[in-house]
Structure 1
Amino acid sequence: MSATARKSAPLPDDIMAMKGGTPIVSLTAYTTPMAAAMDAHCDFVLVGDSVGMVLHGLPSTLGVTMEMMILHGQAVARGLSTAMMVVDMPFGSYEESPEQAFRNAARIMAETGAAAVKLEGGVHMAETTAFLAARGIPVMAHIGLTPQSINTLGGYKVQGRDAAAEQVMRDASAVSDAGAFAVVLEKVPAALADRITETVATPTIGIGASAGCDGQILVVDDMLGLFTAFKPKFVKRYATLGDDIDKAIASYADEVRSRAFPAPEHIFAEKAPSK
């Protein structure tokens, strides 16, 4: 579905205007049916590079490509009519230079109909954020734990404790000043997240941060209990669909092997001969 066909969806400026008001609701989505299910409930939907781990079985987000993000962005767009869509820029698609970031962000927006892109990084990505924003590409920033940098961060650790808090604070101020319309705070101490939320003009979107953030986001497969390889502390499971799916498939397998399925109501009889 094109951006034109989704006129009722909010724009980045609308998300920016929600700062300090009713909390912003967001989830990740990677497929059309899941996007359609959350469309009426979310202010924006993120096509996250977590798709690499959740749907493609990759060990991290580092192997996700532009082609994967565009394919899943197009699928999600078909399921949305009222929520804004943001698409993650994958590892290696924006770090080299602002010009590289612009080319790839412009391609993502043109080929998916996304209203904005998200990229990871604070102070060192402020120049790129400003470059994109000045050229008509709204940017959602992502600081704290940045999964594309796990090899330099030493794993999926909480970021911003003790003396490291000031660096995260500088990151938040830098991307806000550079023109990001929102900033994701991942896995940072609650007190620091509250301080950032109170200090910067940009709305904060928490994931493992604080209830005081301007909004929240979770990976949908985590909160539905579909992705069960591991469960971060910050995830609340609102359903256990993975267990339900396992039971359903086991029942199907049992019925096939016992020839209970297909039953008469599931098969087609010969058509009665005409008289």
Structure 2
Amino acid sequence: MSNVDLELVQKLEDKAVEIRKNLCTFIYRIGTAGHLGGELSIVDVAVALYYKYMNYDPKNPKWAERDRLILSKGHCAEALYTIYSDMGMYTMDYMVEHFESLDTAVFSMHPNRKYIDAIEASTGSLGHGMPLATGLALGARMSKANWRTFCIIGDGELQEGTNWEAFMAAGQFKLGNLVAIIDKNDLQMSGPTKDTVSVDPLGDKMRAFGWDVIEIQGNDMYEVCSALESLPPADPVTPRRPICIISTTTKGAGVSFMENVVAWHAGSLNKAKWEEALESIESKRKVR
């Protein structure tokens, strides 16, 4: 692992606490089910990307030179909405008012590029984010555009064949400007991932497909920052193996009663559970 500024890690850890609280508040306020288990598991990675490691301007989400992030596990979009709100792009009141409303919907359980400027691709048909990200990375090479493409993928999605076609193509074309981040929380809607179709040994498979692999604990901000610090400079032209970060996480990370509980793949929060969730998140705040 590379050396990482511990003050930065603390700052991002505190931001992740704030985002987790805001996410739970958002789910409570919309009064419908969110995919909190998988949303909470990606918070640390998403916070590190948006607040430090992606070249991104929230005041100009269509900036041509921005890094692109494809959220392949689109059912976890509420985690990104919460970050957009915190960055000043939308107020929470606006998001609640326009969440799956009959005539004025902007936000929904799955992200819609047509209505949300910060969304790079409408996703949620699981398994198709990685082909989109591969196409973006290849397009950047053809345009000699010096930006990077990130793709956050759920481990359950890896049971879809289009991911492996994309992995194979990215390895073939040596798209060094492409970073896949696999959120390996080992649970999917129907139960443990290994009991549906096992994706292991994941690291060996990705290496065999021509990728460099970094394996981390994805709910440990120090490890997340170390992995992202270690990325080589974005270079769309020079052929180089694409990079896969296998981010082992806990589904429902930060909320004790949700952690590793498959029932929280999707669920809503009443007032008592919302308050319990906020207390649990705060109790897990790290002090360095």
Q: Per the shorter chain, which TM-score range?
A: 0.3 to 0.5
TM-score using structure 2 length: 0.34
Report which structure shows greater RCO (CA 8 Å, sep ≥6). 2
Give 1 or 2 for the bigger CA radius of gyration. 1
